[in-house]
Structure 1
């Protein structure tokens, strides 16, 4: 099992729009493609309160590649994402890393 940690840095004031997009649009597409979210977090104390951090769970890198690429190229998803950004951009920058558990990690 591997986990993917993603941090979305929003344009000023656009975190509510990103949260709304995840709740009303993105999660439905993820369900369609079998993408498994572990959790979502906003920053209470830290560098910026305009970030959304989330984690996904994958069986393998191959599973990630297949499912993420299918989701990312879905024409309906691309259209919905464009609609939510018609007024202005939501996410300015994305950080992404793939994590593998240590031998002593309680989460595997």
Structure 2
């Protein structure tokens, strides 16, 4: 069975993208490691609708795998504390859009 990929797009409030990148690099990725969350790539927008976006992909074994690990991460006191600390000067992300994707038979990613 194919993996499931979650594409998440975070549109930041004006000027806040550097804060989001710093939070991922210094905090979020370590917490994901703790919870077994696997990233499959991070991207900023060079050309497109907004250069204030971070797009990234997560790899899951199943929707149940996602539910278990994501819930554990989102309720982790270390994440709740870190998020509050990084947003003490104001909200960073204006909105989040996510999609769950399944590779086609001919995809280079399985």
TM over 0.5: yes
> What is the correspondence of 1:45-60 to structure 2 with a 5 Å cutoff?
45-60=47-62
Residue 19 of structure 1 corresponds to which residue in structure 2? 21
> What is the correspondence of 1:3-42 to structure 2 with a 5 Å cutoff?
3-42=5-44
Q: Could you list the runs of 4 or more consecutive aligned residues of structure 1 that deviate by over 4 angstroms after TM superposition? A: none
Residue 69 of structure 1 corresponds to which residue in structure 2? 71
CA distance in 2, matches of 1:19, 1:106: 27
Residues paired across the two proteins, number: 108
Q: Which runs of 5+ in 1 are unaligned?
A: none
Q: CA RMSD in A?
A: 0.6
Which deviations, in whole Å up to 9, do the C-alpha atoms of 1:30-52 show, x marking residues without a partner?
A: 00000000110000000000000
CA positional deviation for 1:105: 1.6
- Range with bigger deviation, 14-23 or 73-82: 73-82
